[in-house]
């Protein structure tokens, strides 16, 4: 019996020491293959808030990543959003060049619609504006979702560092009933609980 308990204790110790295959202060790019954010379970000690991280990236793309300690990733999202904004502005300028204006520089409208000097070119730039805007919306949503994902993965890493998901062994006394020829009899014993 002692050998079995020692063997189980050795197994638990080995499993718990191997459960966190990560080094201290790792970045998200190193952790994303180790942790699945869908398996994240919130803990009171989590240093990052997925909700606030997503909200921060809602306010300013990339801010949630910066708050989570992923500055380079956050700057990349912000720079992408800035580049998309510049591209949309350039497309809008090109589009407006094809809008006919009067002597005062105001756009000419016919029946509530703008009049174009070149309809084909105006349609091309209008399509470009729509395309760039769609990319901007996609980048914006991606930034929010990514900030939440980064927070979850880094929290899972933090939880592993605290040993919250390590294998645990607990042993406590228990009592059970056993049927004998004389009837039911209380039999004392030990219960071994393995948690992982």
pLDDT surpassing 50 at residue 153: yes
pLDDT of residue 24: 55
Neighbours of 141 (CB within 10 A): 13
Task: Tell which wins on pLDDT, 100 or 18.
Answer: 100
Which of 43-47, 56-60, 188-192 is modeled with the greatest confidence?
Answer: 56-60
Angstrom distances, CA of residue 37 to CA of 16, 31, 67, 153: 21, 11, 18, 6
C-alpha span between 158 and 102 (Å, rounded)? 64
- pLDDT tens string 12-27: 344 334 333 445 567 8
pLDDT at 14: 43
Distance CA 55, CA 51 (A): 6
What is the pLDDT at residue 19? Answer: 37
Domain spans of the chain, in order of start: 1-20+166-196, 27-164
For position 177, what pLDDT does the model report? 80
pTM score above 0.95: no
Q: Does 133 score more than 70 pLDDT?
A: yes
> Residue 163: its pLDDT value, please?
61
Q: What is the CA radius of gyration of the chain?
A: 31
Q: Using an 8 Å Cβ cutoff, are 57 and 143 in contact? A: yes
Q: Work out the average pLDDT over 112-141.
A: 90
Which positions ≥6 away from 64 have C-beta within 8 Å? 52, 53, 54, 55, 56, 57, 74, 143, 144, 146, 147, 148, 150, 151
Compute the average pLDDT of residues 137-165.
87
**Arithmetic mean of pLDDT, 88-109:** 86
pLDDT band at residue 67 using 50, 70 and 90 as cut-offs: very high
Other beta carbons within 10 angstroms of residue 66's beta carbon come to: 20
DSSP letters for 60-112: STTHHHHHTT-HHHHHHHHHHHHHHHHHHHHHHHHHHHTB-B-TTSPBPEETT
């Amino acid at each position: 019996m002692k050998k079995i308990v020692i063997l189980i204790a050795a197994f638990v110790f080995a499993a718990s020491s191997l459960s966190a295959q990560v080094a201290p202060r790792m970045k998200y790019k190193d952790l994303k293959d180790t942790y699945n954010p869908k398996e994240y379970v919130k803990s009171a000690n989590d240093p990052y808030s997925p909700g606030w991280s997503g909200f921060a990236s809602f306010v300013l793309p990339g801010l949630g990543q910066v708050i989570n300690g992923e500055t380079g990733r956050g700057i990349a999202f912000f720079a992408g959003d800035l580049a998309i904004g510049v591209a949309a502005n350039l497309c809008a300028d090109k589009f407006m060049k094809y809008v006919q204006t009067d002597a005062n520089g105001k756009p000419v409208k016919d029946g509530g619609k703008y009049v174009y000097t070149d309809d084909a070119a105006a349609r091309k730039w209008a399509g470009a504006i729509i395309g760039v805007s769609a990319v901007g919306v996609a980048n914006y949503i991606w930034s929010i979702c990514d900030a939440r994902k980064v927070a979850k993965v880094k929290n899972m890493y933090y939880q592993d560092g605290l040993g919250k998901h390590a294998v645990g062994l607990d042993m406590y006394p228990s009592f059970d009933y056993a049927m004998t020829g004389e009837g039911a009899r209380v039999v004392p014993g030990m219960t071994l609980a393995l948690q992982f």
